[in-house]
Every structure is written in C-alpha cells, then in structure tokens.
Amino acid sequence: MKIAIEAQRIFRKNKHGMDFVALETIREIQKIDKENQYYIIVSPGEDKCLKESPNMKIIEVKSIGGYLGWEQWALPKIIRKIKPEILHCTSNTAPYFCKTKLILTLHDIIFLEKRTQKNQSLYQNLGRIYRRFIVPLIIPKAKKIITVSNYELHNIKDFLKLSDNKIISVYNGYSKYFSIKDNPKEVYNKYIDKDNYIFFLGNTDPKKNTDRTIIAYADYVKNNDKNNVSYLLIADLKEDYIDCILKDNNIEWIKPYIYSPGYISNTDLPYIYSGAKAFLYTSLRESFGIPILESMACGSPIITSNTSAIPEIAGNGAILIDPFNIKEISDMLQKVLSDDDFRQKQINYGLERTKLFSWEKTAQELIYIYNKVDKTIA
C-alpha cells in the first residue's frame, strides 16, 4: 500500500506542537512498518530533520499563495502524481478537491468554538478563519477522523454530530530525548543567568492564560522575600507583549524578575525543564498537552490546569488547579517551591506517569488505522 502523509511544516526551523507530533510519529512509523510505502510531503525548509529510507520517500513541494495555496493546489497536484491509496493530513485541515481516501488528524476544534477573548496575532486570526471555512467541508470526505484524547473525541463528536465509527482517539507521545539532564546549567544559562527559576511556555493565544499566570507570579513575588524568590523564564513571548500585560495590571515592578528570551529550541528544552524549580502549564484549553509529559520526564514538578484534556493526560496524582483562579495558582506555586517533600513527591509521580506514553505506541495505532481504512470501500 502507498500512503501519503502531509507534514508540511516539519522542515521549518521554529517548529511547534503539531509539527513535532507529525515528525515524531513519522520517525516511529519509519522504524516499524517495512511493508507499506510512505511518501512524506513537506514544504521546503532549512531543518532537514527527516531522512529517506527504502520504505519512506520525502517529497518537497513548493507553492505560491502561502499555506492555502500549498494545501489546496500544490498538495492535490502531487497526490494525483503519486496515486496513493491513503492521504493522511496531520494538522487539522486538508485539500477539498482530492479523491484519495482521506484520514484527518483533527487535534481540536477550538477554531469552531465561540472565543471569549480576541487573539492579537494576525497570523493566528487568519488561520482561524481558514480552518472555520475548510474543516466543515472536508469532514464528510474523511474516511476516519483521528484526535488526540478522549476528551477531544467526545467534544468533536458532539459538536460535529459524528458517528462512533467515524472518529477515534490516538494519544500523542513524547521524545525520549526529554529526560533529566545532569548538568542543565550549561544550556539554560543561554536563556537565564539565574539558577533559581520557574518555567512558563506562553504565547499570544488566549487559551494559554498568559495574563493570569503572570499576575499569579506577581502575587507569589509580593508575598515572599524579594531576595529569595524564583525568577520567571517565559518562552515564546516577545518582551513588548509582556510589558503590555505588566502595564495593564499595574505590576511593572516585577519586570526585573522576568526573563523572556523568545523561542527556545526543542533541543534545549530538556535542559530548561531539568533546571526549573517548577513548570507552569496553566492553559485554559488543551486537546492533549505534550509539555506535560516533557516536563514530567525531565523531573520538573508541574502545576497545571483541571480543564479540558489536561487531567486525562496529567493523571489524578498531578497538581491540578483552576486556571481562572489567580490566587490558587499563586498559592500552589508557593507550596511547590517551599515544601521539598511535596515537590519530590510530584517529581516521582511525573516520572512514573510518563511511562504510559510513547511515540512508538502512537505509530503502531496509526499503522493499524491505515490498514483498516485501506480495506474500506472507496
């Protein structure tokens, strides 16, 4: 069987969540499945993070018209040339004019849900508009919808009125590169020159709860000796965006305690996690939450939310807080940083919890789905 997998953005340098999901799963499929022939269709980029093998060919496709032009014109054109039995689109959207059996990974449907706060990113707003338009059109064409948690499965099924046999959940994994690093300071000092820090992955998406998290951190600092508090390292946020939050909430005085180096490469993240006193993952809404597993695997105690799919992935033994409650975030941060026994208990729990997840399991389930869909009537 010939299987085409759309992985458009895995060659870009600054990869994000869905890019890593596609890349890590494809790498495991490459190791496991020697019977089927795979064609990985990507956009050209500088990070050649995947190599060809006898069972896997890489096709770089150029296009004009940005993401829409690539997906709706260039991708169908190459599919007609390859003539695969199956096309798996990995990042929420797919071409409309394509006769090949389609499998769609729908990570979430946040873009179809009513939003409570405007996104300040033009790129993300345009992406939302495109997904709101194309996804309802391609759902009926898909032979199988894959999502990443049971929470999201029920959410999508109810929202889109899908039958039980139309959609399935397949958990994500995490890279084994994420593990406790013996001397993390050698790397994390590139981003923060302090040994005592808390780590927070934020961006401009309202679901990441950045405003409340920074306000909660300010409350933690206010209630402690300023000479002994942990600093806050924030990845993926520009300084001017943080400055606006500080000004709007009259907490500009905490600016000296915040480090914002921008994008942190995936190769450096295990060292960041390993050196952190705690990891804040206070998102309002996640369909899975790979950073939960990454931080746990690196021995960083995580303070995370009790919403959406997060409890399903983090488990009952994790620190689950109400992400809307600023005081609760602040109080739990205080507890983790001041109670050594409690902190160690959370570290031990996380290391055990991650044993339930792997990209190998993800790949095995996808191969099973490919073979099953291949046997369906066109």
Range of 278's domain?
185-356
Which CATH number does the domain housing residue 222 bear?
3.40.50.2000
**Each residue's pLDDT tens digit, 267-290:** 999 999 999 999 999 999 999 999
User: To which H or E segment does residue 371 belong?
Assistant: helix 359-374
Considering the domain architecture, whether residues 256 and 132 belong to the same structural domain is answered as no
Q: What pTM, to 2 d.p., does this model score?
A: 0.91
Encoded tokens for 16 = 């994000």
Considering the domain architecture, whether residues 266 and 122 belong to the same structural domain is answered as no
Q: Which residues pair with 305 in a beta bridge?
A: 321
Task: Calculate what percentage of the chain has a pLDDT beyond 90.
Answer: 88
Q: Residue 349 and residue 128: Cα distance in Å, rounded?
A: 37
Considering the domain architecture, whether residues 129 and 257 belong to the same structural domain is answered as no
Considering the domain architecture, whether residues 46 and 115 belong to the same structural domain is answered as yes
pLDDT above 60: residue 320: yes
Identify which of 284, 354, 350 has the alpha carbon closest to the alpha carbon of residue 319. Answer: 350
Residue 201 in any domain: the answer is yes
pLDDT at position 292: 98
**Each residue's pLDDT tens digit, 184-223:** 999 999 999 999 999 999 888 889 999 999 999 999 999 9
Say which range, 3-17, 121-135, 144-158, 329-343, has the weakest mean pLDDT. 121-135
Average pLDDT for residues 321-348, to the nearest whole number? Answer: 97
DSSP conformational letter for 70:
I
pLDDT above 70: residue 120: no
Measured in degrees and rounded to the nearest 5, phi and psi for residue 108 equal -165, 175
The total domain count for the chain is: 2
Residue 239 in any domain: the answer is yes
Task: Calculate what percentage of the chain has a pLDDT beyond 70.
Answer: 97
Considering the domain architecture, whether residues 202 and 161 belong to the same structural domain is answered as no
Amino acid at 128: R
Considering the domain architecture, whether residues 305 and 368 belong to the same structural domain is answered as no
pLDDT at position 378: 62
Considering the domain architecture, whether residues 221 and 334 belong to the same structural domain is answered as yes
Q: Residue 116 and residue 118: Cα distance in Å, rounded?
A: 7
pLDDT above 60: residue 374: yes
Q: Residue 264 and residue 118: Cα distance in Å, rounded?
A: 26
**Each residue's pLDDT tens digit, 236-251:** 899 999 999 999 999 9
Considering the domain architecture, whether residues 277 and 220 belong to the same structural domain is answered as yes
Q: Residue 222 and residue 44: Cα distance in Å, rounded?
A: 48
- Laid out side by side, the sheet with 278-281 consists of 258-262, 231-235, 197-201, 278-281, 302-305, 319-321
